[in-house]
């Protein structure tokens, strides 16, 4: 088996597994959140975060100092929160979880401790 076909097989199995374990809200509807891609450098995430919290219209109040999602205080964690806020707010109007390839959709709720990531059915 070639390296390419091995990668494709792994990708197909990953997609199938995500489909099987994804939480469901109602029949045929899967819960999904938008988070920062771990492969993207911080400077790219920062640009996308600035856009999301500015012109994008995301609700970034909870990632401010002394708010529930400030910690961990990393660009990646703050970007994930902002990307998800934007995505949940505008997905029904055609918005995507793209952010110039800085984000990805996940079926795993990224909420932690008192920091709750919004989900809009």
pLDDT one-digit tens code per residue, 61-113: 999 999 999 999 999 999 999 999 999 999 999 999 999 999 999 999 999 99
Domain count of the fold of the chain: 1
pTM higher than 0.75 for the full model? yes
Contact status, residue 23 vs residue 111, Cβ threshold 8 Å: no
Domain carrying residue 38: 23-106
Q: Is residue 17 part of a domain?
A: no
Long-range contacts, 96-99 (Cβ 8 Å, 24+): 97/34, 99/48, 99/51, 99/52
For 13-47, the pLDDT digits (tens) are 444 444 444 444 445 568 999 999 999 999 999 99
Q: Which pLDDT value is given to residue 30? A: 87
Residues 42-73 pLDDT 10s: 999 999 999 999 999 999 999 999 999 999 99
> Is residue 11 included in any domain, yes or no?
no
pLDDT at residue number 24: 47
User: For residue 50, is it within any domain?
Assistant: yes
């Amino acid at each position: 088996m070639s390296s390419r076909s091995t990668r494709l097989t792994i990708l197909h199995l990953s997609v199938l597994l995500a489909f099987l374990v994804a939480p469901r809200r109602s029949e045929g509807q899967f819960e999904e959140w938008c988070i920062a891609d771990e492969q993207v450098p911080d400077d790219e995430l920062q640009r996308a975060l600035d856009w999301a919290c500015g012109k994008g219209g995301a609700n970034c109040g909870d990632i401010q100092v002394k708010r529930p999602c400030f910690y961990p205080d990393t660009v990646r964690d703050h970007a994930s929160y902002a990307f998800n806020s934007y995505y949940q707010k505008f997905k029904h109007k055609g918005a995507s979880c793209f952010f110039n390839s800085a984000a990805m959709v996940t079926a795993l709720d990224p909420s932690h401790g008192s920091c709750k990531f919004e989900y809009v059915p």
